[in-house]
Amino acid sequence: MARTITTADKKPKPRPDIIGGHTLSMYVNNKPGVLMRICQIFARRAYNIDSLVVSQGRDPRFSRLTLGISGDPAGLTQIILQCDKLIDVIHCYEHTPEDAVVRELALIKIKTENAERRTEILQIVEHFGGKTVDFSESSMIIRIEGASDKVDASVRLLNNYEIIETVRTGKVVMARGEQPT
């Protein structure tokens, strides 16, 4: 069934009352149900999980989790300790952009029926070091990667065109230097 594309991606509304934008990394057992235990801790203290990346670790018995979270900063230390307390969690750390490398990737699908606009879009993509990963007559998919603020900036600029959809992976972090992630 053909699908009519009508979504001109809405400009992101500023989110009120969000405190934080904290990034946590966890090293956990690679087992069913582990994520459920972790999510319950955040839900109970009214924390929102803004982004979540889970993947198998180098040792397949374990998984890496990176969570972007927001909520009342007063409870954050205790939440970290409560996550750390879970039997299935090997460790849980908070990271800041100063002590860790933070990266994410976005895929952005844009209408490109107008050739002139297409050129403009490609210039923006080039500026942000992005790539075109799919091209059709009516649309293209762009891949942008980098620190979250860079991805935010590119999406903000591309909002001047007709964005159909965006998909972001969410942040992944790795601690700098000797510090474990």
Nearest distance, CB of residue 102 and other proteins, angstroms: 25
User: For other proteins, how many residues bind (rule: CB under 8 A)?
Assistant: 21
Amino acid at 97: P
Yes or no: say if 26 and 91 are a contact pair by the CB < 8 Å rule.
yes
Q: Could you say whether residue 1 binds other proteins (CB under 8 A)?
A: no
Q: Which of residues 73-132 bind other proteins (CB under 8 A)?
A: 77-78, 81-82, 84-91
Nearest alpha-carbon partner for 67 in 99, 104, 31: 104
Yes or no: say if 131 and 142 are a contact pair by the CB < 8 Å rule.
yes
Q: Could you say whether residue 52 binds other proteins (CB under 8 A)?
A: no
Residue with Cβ nearer other proteins (34 or 106): 34
Nearest distance, CB of residue 78 and other proteins, angstroms: 5
What is the separation of C-alpha 58 from the centre of its chain, rounded to a whole number of angstroms? 21
Nearest distance, CB of residue 174 and other proteins, angstroms: 20
> Tokens 């809405």, residue?
10
Beta strands 139-146; 100-111: pairing state: antiparallel
- Measured between alpha carbons, how far is 46 from 154 in angstroms, rounded to an integer? 31
Stretch that binds other proteins, among 16-24, 26-34, 126-134, 138-146 (CB under 8 A): 26-34
Residues near other proteins (CB under 8 A)? 28-29, 32-33, 36-37, 40, 44, 62, 77-78, 81-82, 84-91
